[in-house]
Amino acid sequence: MIHDNSLQSSVFNRFVSEIRDVEIQKDPMRFRMNMERIAEVLGYELSKKLTASRIVTQTPLGISETLVPNETPVLATILRAGLSMHNGLLRMFDRADSAFISAYRKHTTAEDFDIHVEYLAAPNLDGRIWIISDPMLATGSSMIAVYKAMRKMGNPTQIHIVSAIATPDALELIKAHLPANTEIWVGAIDKELTAQSYIVPGLGDAGDLAYGVKL
C-alpha cells in the first residue's frame, strides 16, 4: 500500500516545498529540520496502522485510559542522507531500536551502476516491525539492497518505508521485491527519472544538502 501525503492540502506540503526550494536549500539547518518534520508527520501517520492496546494512567485526580501502539519498531536508515529523517522518526518512536546501513552506488558508467551495502549495524531484527527511512526513492535499488541485507539478520512482521520523494519506477520495484504487507509513506511522487537516475523535479542530493558536499 502506498500513502502519498501530498494529495491533501496541509502544512506538511510546505515542508516538502521548502526542501525543494533552491534558495531555502542554502540553509543546511533548515533543510535538516524540514526533513525531520517530514519524517515526524509520516511517522505519526504510520503509527495509526500499528496494533494498539489501552494503557491506564494515574492522574492527580483519577484514572485515564489511552489507546496507544503496543509494538516497538526498529528504525533503520540509509547513511548518510537518511540521518535527519531518522531523527524525526525517533521523536515519534522514542522507545524504538535503531539500525544503520551504508549503501552506495558503484558506477561503471554514468548510466550504469550497482548498489552495494558496505555496513550494517542492527539490533535483533527477527519478528520485529521495520521502519526504513531514505529521503529519495529514485530507482528503488538501494531499498531492495538494504532489505536483502537486513533479511539475513531476521524476518520482519511488517515493513514500513518512509521517504520524502519517490518515483513510480521505485515504487513498482519495491512492490515487486518486498513482502505484500509492506507499506510505503511518501511526501510526494515525482514522475520523471533521468538516465542518470536523478528525480525531476526532485530536490538534488539530500545528503549533500543536509551535511555538506562530499568529495
- Domain harbouring 27, CATH code: 3.40.50.2020
| pTM check: above 0.95 | no
Q: Do 17 and 9 meet the contact criterion of CB atoms below 8 Å apart?
A: no
The domain of 32 spans: 2-211
Domain count, the chain: 1
3-state secondary structure the chain: CEEEHHHCCCHHHHHHHHHHCCCHHHCHHHHHHHHHHHHHHHHHHHHCCCCEEEEEEECCCCEEEEEEECCCCEEEEEECCCHHHHHHHHHHCCCCEEEEEEEEEEECCCCCEEEEEEEEECCCCCCCEEEEECCEECCCHHHHHHHHHHHCCCCCCEEEEEEEEECHHHHHHHHHHCCCCCEEEEEEECCEECCCCCEECCCCCHHHHHHCCCC
pLDDT in tens, the chain (215 residues): 999 999 999 999 999 999 999 999 999 999 999 999 999 999 999 999 999 999 999 999 999 999 999 889 999 998 888 999 999 999 999 999 999 998 766 544 444 445 667 788 999 999 999 999 999 999 998 899 899 999 999 999 999 999 999 999 999 999 999 999 999 999 999 998 887 788 999 999 999 999 998 87
Is residue 142 within 8 Å of residue 172, measured between CB atoms?
no
